Amino acid sequence: MTASHSTQGPDKPDVETAIIGAGFGGLCMAIALKKSGRRSFVILEKEADAGGTWLVNRYPGCACDVPSHLYSYSFELNANWSRAYSPQPEIHAYVQRCVDKYDLAPHIRFNTELEQAQFDEAAGLWRLQTAGGDTLTARTLVGALGFLNLPAIPDIPGRDTFEGTSFHSRYWNEDCDLTGKRVAVIGTGASAIQFVPQIAPKVGALTVFQRTPPWVLPKPDRPVTGFEHWLFRHVPAVQRAIRGGIYWALECLAIPFIRRPKAMRMFERLGKWHMRRQVPDSALREKLTPSYRLGCKRILFSNDYYPSLTKPGVEVVTDAVTEITPAGVVTEDGRHHDVDVIIYGTGFKATDPVPRGLIIGSGNRDIVDAWDDGPEAYLGTAVSGFPNLFFIIGPNTGLGHSSMIFMIESQVAYIAEAVASLQNAGARSLELKPKVQQRYNEDIQKKLKKTVWLTGGCRSWYLHPSGKNVTLWPGFTWQFRRRTRRFSISDYTVSSG
């Protein structure tokens, strides 16, 4: 993949569209382009396989906390999910089947990491450079990087001096046998509550360092029966109806998130009941009880997390971690916890999803500088100053209550129309008008003020250091679908010629 492959003129790109990332978003975009008859596109994927988050997160117990029936493309239901909530290997296998079915492999450059994409204003195209030194030009760039792709490892003093094994949940060390080891887990988020129950029975001792207790609700998980599989295969309308039912039930849950945070109290009661049933020790329950409104941080679902914390040899430590030494972890009470392995379940840089130097727009401006005050876009997709660039799962498209695939499909339809409009207009570039971006963001930030994420009394990874919520969509998902339904070229400045 080098520019010299191009046999076209200087202003003609090597490909019409370059997509960054072969996860759910990038693949959905590729399928949409193919369905609309476009073949001039390439997906750059830094990993050796497709799947994005569902390829790289392979920690024990990794599974989806969105019901299986809703966690697939709407045009590609899977009749064979084994459980109500799918485990990671099945979701990854589903993605691979989509790659095969839509014959996407010829369009994907695996092991190809984008180093920099720079917009060439004169030519109206993106010049891409990969880490391997290849170059490529594209009229349109689609950033489908995901917003949970850069692991966050806290800068704890002494971290690099640790002489045992340490790794982040996203880089699970499969060569590290935890049997009989003294293990520290830092963090109690969505990933940790899935892998802690898996490792607790085999380790020698487990210390879970909890900074903020999460709200944990029962997970209505169960195996899908043979009869259901038969039914879904032979009468797909049944699965579609169930999917629709789940979608609308979850949409109702948006109300307490975005309009009536106080209504979360009923779910808090459920969470406390769940804890009482599973944690007999009242001192441990006290440590595990959150003091903020449910929903302010991501709600977690698990039936085995609390029981795993009650096992002999498992300790929950709530004193803050202050230092890491060659032999373990020190907490603010001065206690030294000797451990052989440290696992960081400390999440991702969600409010800082694009590294500096990766995307350079008009006037040589790095997107990191444009997002100084926190990432923002129009419809989570287009950014003023960055012509012909569209994000999938960009700023303020995350959800607390439903499936991201619904949001992905909404954005993909919008971007597919943008690509068509660019071509139909015979234009060099489309650049979002600053006013459109400003008005849109003022509106959603106003709406966000009333949501549980800003009124719930917590500090979460949803918030940028500036205090703005830059990650979540403050509405129903059907409202996002309605807003992305039509691409309006009048929102953009069109450069022709």
Q: What is the CA radius of gyration of the chain?
A: 23
Question: What is the spatial distance between Cα 466 and Cα 372, in angstroms, rounded to a whole number?
Answer: 9
CA 467 from centroid of its chain's CA atoms: 20
3 state SS for 6-43 = CCCCCCCCCEEEEEECCCHHHHHHHHHHHHCCCCCEEE
Do the beta carbons of residue 135 and residue 3 sit within 8 Å? yes
**Sites for ligand NAP among residues 84-123 (CB under 6 A):** none
Element of type H or E holding 240: helix 236-258
Report which DSSP code applies to 358. Answer: S
Among 125, 144, 321, 343, binds ligand NAP (CB under 6 A): 321
**190 scored as a contact of ligand NAP (CB under 6 A):** yes
Distances (CA, A) of 48 to 136, 205, 322, 342: 20, 35, 37, 27
Binding span for ligand NAP by CB under 6 A among 120-128, 208-216, 265-273, 360-368 = 208-216
Element of type H or E holding 141: strand 135-143
**Sites for ligand NAP among residues 158-177 (CB under 6 A):** 169
By beta-carbon proximity to ligand NAP, the closer residue of 73 and 119 is: 73
By beta-carbon proximity to ligand NAP, the closer residue of 191 and 410 is: 191
The residue at minimum Cβ distance from ligand NAP is 189
Edge-to-edge strands of the sheet including 341-344? 165-168, 341-344, 182-186, 205-209, 314-317
**346 scored as a contact of ligand NAP (CB under 6 A):** yes
By beta-carbon proximity to ligand NAP, the closer residue of 302 and 411 is: 302
Q: What beta strand segments (E) does 279-417 contain?
A: 300-301, 314-317, 321-325, 328-331, 336-338, 341-344, 359-360, 389-391
CB of 184 to ligand NAP, least distance (A): 11
**Sites for ligand NAP among residues 385-414 (CB under 6 A):** none
**Sites for ligand NAP among residues 443-462 (CB under 6 A):** 461
CB of 239 to ligand NAP, least distance (A): 20
Among 119, 195, 209, 257, binds ligand NAP (CB under 6 A): 209
**188 scored as a contact of ligand NAP (CB under 6 A):** yes
**348 scored as a contact of ligand NAP (CB under 6 A):** yes
Binding span for ligand NAP by CB under 6 A among 23-31, 33-41, 76-84, 181-189 = 181-189
**298 scored as a contact of ligand NAP (CB under 6 A):** yes
Binding span for ligand NAP by CB under 6 A among 90-98, 231-239, 343-351, 464-472 = 343-351
Do the beta carbons of residue 216 and residue 305 sit within 8 Å? yes
The CA dihedral of 13, 17, 18, 20, to the nearest 10 degrees, is 160
Binding span for ligand NAP by CB under 6 A among 200-208, 245-253, 308-316, 340-348 = 340-348
Among 21, 347, 353, 361, binds ligand NAP (CB under 6 A): 347
CB of 97 to ligand NAP, least distance (A): 20
By beta-carbon proximity to ligand NAP, the closer residue of 110 and 292 is: 292
For residue 372, which of 468, 293, 453, 457 has the smallest C-alpha distance?
A: 468
**Sites for ligand NAP among residues 30-89 (CB under 6 A):** 64-66
Do the beta carbons of residue 375 and residue 351 sit within 8 Å? yes
**345 scored as a contact of ligand NAP (CB under 6 A):** yes
Binding flags for ligand NAP, 459-478, as an x/- string (CB under 6 A): --x-----------------
Q: Please report which residue ranges of 192-225 form alpha helices under DSSP H.
A: 192-199
CB of 330 to ligand NAP, least distance (A): 12
Among 19, 31, 114, 148, binds ligand NAP (CB under 6 A): 148
Among 18, 22, 98, 186, binds ligand NAP (CB under 6 A): 186
**Sites for ligand NAP among residues 368-387 (CB under 6 A):** none
Among 51, 67, 143, 189, binds ligand NAP (CB under 6 A): 189
Residue 434 tokens read as 């600053």
Question: What is the spatial distance between Cα 172 and Cα 205, in angstroms, rounded to a whole number?
Answer: 19
Question: What is the spatial distance between Cα 440 and Cα 75, in angstroms, rounded to a whole number?
Answer: 30
**Count of residues binding ligand NAP (CB under 6 A)?**
23
Among 192, 217, 407, 444, binds ligand NAP (CB under 6 A): 192
Distances (CA, A) of 67 to 221, 258, 320: 8, 21, 34
Binding span for ligand NAP by CB under 6 A among 44-52, 228-236, 253-261, 341-349 = 341-349
CB of 290 to ligand NAP, least distance (A): 10
For residue 321, which of 481, 459, 445, 212 has the smallest C-alpha distance?
A: 212
For residue 463, which of 374, 397, 356 has the smallest C-alpha distance?
A: 374
Question: What is the spatial distance between Cα 128 and Cα 141, in angstroms, rounded to a whole number?
Answer: 9
Among 212, 289, 479, 495, binds ligand NAP (CB under 6 A): 212
Question: What is the spatial distance between Cα 79 and Cα 476, in angstroms, rounded to a whole number?
Answer: 27
CB of 24 to ligand NAP, least distance (A): 11
CB of 299 to ligand NAP, least distance (A): 9
Q: Which residues bind ligand NAP (CB under 6 A)?
A: 64-66, 148, 154, 169, 186-192, 209, 211-212, 298, 321, 345-348, 461
